[in-house]
Amino acid sequence: MALGQKLERTIKTPGLTLAGEALTLDLCGGVWLAAHRTLIVSDLHLEKGSAFAVRSGQFLPPYDTRETLACLHEAVARFDPACVVALGDSFHDARGPERMEPGDRAMIAALQEGRDWVWIAGNHDQAVSEGVGGRYAETLRLGGLTLRHEPSPEAPDGEIAGHLHPCGKVAMRGRAVRRRCFVTDGRRLVMPAFGAYAGGLNVRNPAFDPLFPAGFTAHLLGDGRVFAIGKAMLTRD
């Protein structure tokens, strides 16, 4: 109860400004750029379950692609974007598209119909050949923003990236909440992983330090709300 009340007193985050561009941080884990009618998602990791089965014989429930695409369908239906940008690691490996069920492939085609669709290359799917629709790019400039998969400490203001799968953890009076989150210092934004099996890295991990040397705010995906939590309130795993 105390933890919930503490979170309720934090700022509800409908959006923020980055490099002069207005961003809406959506509860689904995507970013909506209304001025560009563009929806950005990151790290879908489609076909991760089938990748585990092929590589190690470890059988996970093979429904991660369908669940991830269903969540993406809901966001696309709400925003009706002119463009969708997937910020890399859209497939868990280069052969992911080959293992997709026909129904899942058809769902991607339906989501792409009538809109621009950009697959940004990630470290997991750099070698994915064209064959799932859309177009491919290493990076994408959109107004004052630079969209790429892996964040760089040397990048100019306005970088939006993924790759790190950020999660934030808040603990109080013996209770803890750990959620996927956006992370920003007003100069760059690192997005949460969208994929059902993607997992997450605690934002207090040293991997985030070079990107946010002066601190950051984590925008946790809560139950029905996005909460802005300062670094000082966040705990390690």
205-217 tens-digit pLDDT? 999 999 999 999 9
pLDDT score for 12: 46
- Does this model's pTM top 0.85? My answer is yes
Residue 29: pLDDT band with limits 50, 70, 90: very high
Residue 193: pLDDT band with limits 50, 70, 90: very high
In this structure, are residues 161 and 87 in contact, taking their beta carbons and an 8 Å threshold?
yes
Per cent of the chain over pLDDT 90 is 70
Mean pLDDT, range 113-130, rounded to an integer: 81
Residue 180: pLDDT band with limits 50, 70, 90: very high
Rounded to 10°, the helix 48-56/64-79 angle is 160
pLDDT score for 192: 98
Alpha-carbon span 90 to 48, nearest angstrom:
10
pLDDT score for 93: 77
pLDDT score for 1: 35
Residue 4: pLDDT band with limits 50, 70, 90: very low
Residue 99: pLDDT band with limits 50, 70, 90: confident
Beta strands in 67-221 (DSSP E): 83-86, 116-120, 135-137, 140-142, 145-147, 159-161, 166-172, 175-184, 188-190, 201-202, 217-221
For 57-78, what is each residue's pLDDT tens digit?
Answer: 555 556 789 999 999 999 999 9
Residue whose token pair is 């293992």: 99
pLDDT score for 191: 98
In this structure, are residues 193 and 29 in contact, taking their beta carbons and an 8 Å threshold?
yes
Mean of the per-residue pLDDT values of the chain: 88
pLDDT score for 109: 94
Residue 11: pLDDT band with limits 50, 70, 90: very low
In this structure, are residues 222 and 7 in contact, taking their beta carbons and an 8 Å threshold?
yes
Above 80 in pLDDT, residue 150?
yes
Whole-Å CA distances, 224 to 28, 110, 123, 227, 229: 10, 27, 32, 10, 16
Expressed in angstroms, the distance from the first to the final Cα of the chain is: 21
pLDDT score for 124: 63
Rounded to the nearest angstrom, the gap between the alpha carbon of residue 127 and the centroid of all alpha carbons in its chain is 21
Cβ burial of 181 (10 Å; 0-12, 13-18, 19+) is buried
